[in-house]
Structure 1
Amino acid sequence: MTLSVIFSTYNSEEWLEKVILGFSVQTFRDFEIIIADDGSRAATKELIDRLRAEISIPIIHVWQEDKGFQKSQILNKAILAATSDYLIFTDGDCIPRKDFVEVHHNYREEGYFLSGGYFKLPMSISKAITKEDILQQNCFNLNWLRSQGLKSSFKNVKFIASGFLSKVLNSVTPTNASWNGHNSSGWKKDLMEVNGFNQEMQYGGQDRELGERLFNKGLKSKQIRYSAICVHLDHKRGYVNEETWKKNKGIRETTKKEKVIWTTHGIKKSN
C-alpha cells in the first residue's frame, strides 16, 4: 500500500463505524486502515469483521489486553503492523472528509511531517450523523450542519475553504504545526528512528511529545489545518486526571530541554 491510516479505539462501536465509513469513500484509494485497539470488548471485533466484508479498503485490527489507558503502546504496535512507508494518524472519533487521505498524500515530503486539526461537533450533531450523511458528505456541508444546530463561528470556514484560500489560511493561522494525534502524518522510517510513542505517557500530550522528538531529530512540519478536514465526534473522557497531566508535562519539558530524540520507552526497549 502507498499509505497506512492508523487510529485508536476503545469500546466505542458507534463512533468507530462512522469513522470507518468515512474512510470507505476516500478519493485516494491506495491505503490500508490499521485500527489500534486498546483492549475493546468482543463487539468491536464483530463490527470490524462486518465492515471488513462491506468496504474495499483493507482493515488490519491490532488488539491488546485492556490494562487501562495504554494508547501509546497500541499505536506503536500499529506502526509495526503498517505495510506502507508513510503513516497517517487520526482518532477513532474523527470522521474524515472524502479528500482527507488525498491531501496527506499530496502534501507529504521527505524531511517533514504534516500537522492538521479537527472540527469539534457537539453531542447532538455527533449522534445525528447517519451512514447516509457520511456517504453523501452532509456532515461536511455547512448548510446541513447549521440545520442541525451548529452555531456561527469563524472556525466554520474550514467547511468552505478550498484551493488558494485554504493555503492562505494554513500559512496565516497562529496555531503551531505540532504533531496532533487526530490529524498528522509522517514517514515510518522517521517514527522508527525516534522509537515511536513514549509508552511511559498516558493521556495528555503524548502526541505532541512525539512531534517534539521529531523536531529534535531535525524534521520540519507543514501546516494543513485548513486542507485536511475531519470532524470530531463528542464523547466523555473518563481517563483524564491531573496527576497524569503533570507527569507528562515533565516528560515533555525534559524532551525539549535535553533535545531528546530516542525514547527508551518506545517500540524498541533499547537503542
Structure 2
Amino acid sequence: MKKIPTISLIVSTYNWPEALEKCIQSILKQTQLPNEILIADDGSEDATQEIIERLKQESLIPIVHVWHPDNGFRLSAIRNKAISQARYDYIIQIDGDIIIDRNFVVDHLALSQKKAFLCGSRVLLSEAYSAQLLSQPIVENLNKLNFPLGSILNSLRIPFLSELMADRYKKNQPRALRGCNMSFWKNDLIEINGYNESIQGWGSEDAELAIRLINNGIKKRFLKFGAIAYHIFHKENSKSNLQENEIVFRHAVENQTTWITQGIKS
C-alpha cells in the first residue's frame, strides 16, 4: 500500500485578501486536509493580515503567515521562505487567486511519486464570473456553464485518465506548467536550493525551477483530469523583467544547472 506523505500546502499572495479568503476557504473544504497551510506573502498590507488572523480561528489545521517587506515582485524569495519553514514531506503549491476543487489534495497525492514532481492546469474564470464569486460570502459550487470553452477540459475530473496521462502528456517540458498548481517533495527542492531569487518580476521562475529539477534527475509528471484549479480573473502582471528572466532560464537549460547560489541557502 502506498504510504500517504505529510503535506505542506503553500499559497502565494500579494494584496488581494478577497481572493485569498476564497482560496483558503476552498482548502479547508478538502476531502483530505493538508497538515498545514503556509501563506507566502510578498509584502501585503494589513488587510491581508486581518483576513489571515480570522481564517486561523476557523481552521482545524495550522495556518502560518510567511511575510517579507514589499520590495517589488519577489515571488521566488517568498516561496523559498515558505519552503524553508514547511514542516512536512510533500509540498503542494498554489496561488492565492485560485479556488481549488474539493479533491485537489487527494488528486496530487494519488500521482505523487518519489523522484518526481507534478504540474497541473487551471480553469480561467471570466472577469464577470470572478466578480460574482468574490461577492459571495462562501463559494459552494462553480457552474461550468460560466467557464470559457477553452477551459472546459481543465474542469473535468476523470481519475483513471489522470493516471493514464501522467507520464505521456508534455513530458519533461519545463514550460508546460503552471506555478499555481504544482507539487514536489521538499527534499527535492532543497537539493537544488529552491527557487532562483535572481529572477524578479513576473515570468520564468517556475520553468527555471522545473528545468533544474529535471537536470537533477527528478521526473516531471503532468496532472490532467484531476487537481482542478479555478483561476480568479485579474489583470496581467507587468512583464518588464521577462527578457532578463528568460536569460536566467536559458542559462539553466544550456548549462544543465541544478544548484543555484541565490536560493533558499544564499
Instruction: State the one-letter code of the partner of 2:234.
Output: H
Give the Cα separation in 1 of the matches to 2:97 and 2:10: 12
| Correspondences of 1:1-271 after superposition (within 5 Å) | 2-129=6-133, 130-132=136-138, 134=139, 136=140, 138-139=141-142, 144-146=143-145, 149-153=146-150, 155-168=151-164, 170=166, 173-174=169-170, 178=174, 180-202=178-200, 203-241=202-240, 244-269=241-266
CA contact (8 A) 2:124 2:232 kept: yes
Deviation at 1:128, TM superposition (A): 1.1
Letter in 2 for 1:219: I
**One-letter amino acid of the structure 2 residue matched with residue 102 of structure 1:** V
Q: How far off its partner does 1:254 sit?
A: 0.7
Identify which range, 27-36 or 178-187, moves more after superposition. Answer: 178-187
Deviations 1:146-178 (A, max 9, x none): 1xx43434x313333413244455566458664
State the percentage of identical aligned residues.
38
Q: Secondary structure at the match of 1:221?
A: strand
Structure 1 residues 42-96: Cα deviation after superposition (integer angstroms, max 9, x where no partner): 1100100001101213200001001011111010000011000110111111111
Cα 1:67/1:208, change in 2 over 3 Å: same
Look up the equivalent residue of 2:229 and give its one-letter code: C
More helix by share: 1
- Note the residue ranges of structure 2 that are not aligned, 5 or more in a row: none
The unaligned stretches of length 5 or more in structure 1 are none
- Is the Cα contact below 8 Å between 2:32 and 2:106 reproduced in 1? yes
**Any runs of at least 4 consecutive aligned residues in structure 1 with deviations exceeding 2 A, and if so which?**
149-153, 157-161, 163-180, 237-240
Question: After superposition, what is the alpha-carbon deviation per residue over 1:99-130, rounded to whole angstroms, capped at 9, x for unaligned?
Answer: 11111122211110111111111111111123
Instruction: Confirm or deny: 8 A CA contact 1:3 1:84 kept in the other structure.
Output: yes
The count of corresponding residues between Structure 1 and Structure 2 is: 257
Q: Is the 8 A contact 1:177 1:223 kept in 2?
A: no
- Partners of 1:227 and 1:49 lie apart in 2 by 31
Q: Which amino acid aligns with 2:178?
A: N
- Whole-Å separation in 1 of the counterparts to 2:80 and 2:131: 31
